[in-house]
Amino acid sequence: MTEEIFKEQLNNTKGKQNMETKINIESDTQVSTANKRLHFTKANLKARGWTERTISIFYPEPDEERLNGFSRNGKTKLYLSEKVTAIEETATFKEFRAKNNNRVKSAKEGAQKAAITRCQSLLDYVWNLKIEIPYLEKEQLLTYTIEYYNNHKRDKGEFDFLTLNSDPYFLNRIARNYIFYELTDYSETLNYVKKQGGKGFLYDRLSRNIDEEIKNVYPWLNNY
């Protein structure tokens, strides 16, 4: 009986020791997990409103660098989150961020105003541009057009030349092109409008204005 009680006490003691050991091990694991420190990447910082300049001033050296095959230099810079939040709470950082935000806002507003001014100037230019098309007699215009076309064909080694008896629809079409490209410089005007950001509505509007004036001066071209 005494022996059984002794064995039971011994087993209880071992069980208690095992439990204490297990508790210690589990406690160490929790401490280890708790000691894992959260880091931010540079992308995380930028998502929080940091810029490259902000990083270079307030956190120029990362706490860690880890290998990353997708990064340009093969490494990812890591910044302790607790340091980041501590920096963000400082008066210096808050003042810097406020001034920087104001600069960015002012720059955006300035760019928007400049864009509006440029668009308005371009709009005024297109609307107020007086289209002037030189007048030639029909036969003279077609003769010049055919000569220009045939010379172009000859330069390419092609000899299917046009005459005044060629298809009138085709002659009218190339006569319009001859007026536009050879008798005026409006092709350069359209390129200017396009380069100034007027591609689209303003470009199409100016192109229609030019075409309408060509047909006003040469009404017989309305047949093409």
Domain ranges of the chain: 132-223
Per-residue pLDDT of the chain (224 residues; tens, 9 = 90+): 434 443 454 455 444 444 443 333 333 322 223 346 799 999 999 999 899 999 999 999 999 988 876 666 678 899 999 999 999 999 999 999 898 888 888 888 888 888 788 888 888 988 899 999 999 999 999 999 999 999 999 998 988 899 999 999 999 999 999 999 999 999 999 998 888 877 788 889 999 999 999 999 999 988 66
**Of 84, 92, 91, which Cα lies nearest the Cα of 50?**
84
Can you read off the two tokens belonging to residue 107? 């720059």
Region of residue 157 (left: phi > 0; alpha: psi -120 to 50; beta: else): left
pTM above 0.75, yes or no: no
Buried/exposed 45-66: b ≥16 CB within 10 Å, e otherwise: beeeebeeebbeebbeebeeee
Hey, CA dihedral for 190, 196, 199, 201, is it positive or negative? negative
For the chain, the distance separating the N- and C-terminal CA atoms, rounded to the nearest angstrom, is 124
Cβ partners under 8 Å of residue 89, min gap 6: none
User: Which residue spans within the chain are E strands per DSSP?
Assistant: 39-41, 64-67, 75-80
The alpha carbon dihedral of 173, 177, 183, 184 has a sign of: positive
Contacts of 209 (CB under 8 A, 6+ apart): 126, 129, 131
What lies within 8 Å, CB to CB, of 166 at 6+ separation is 146
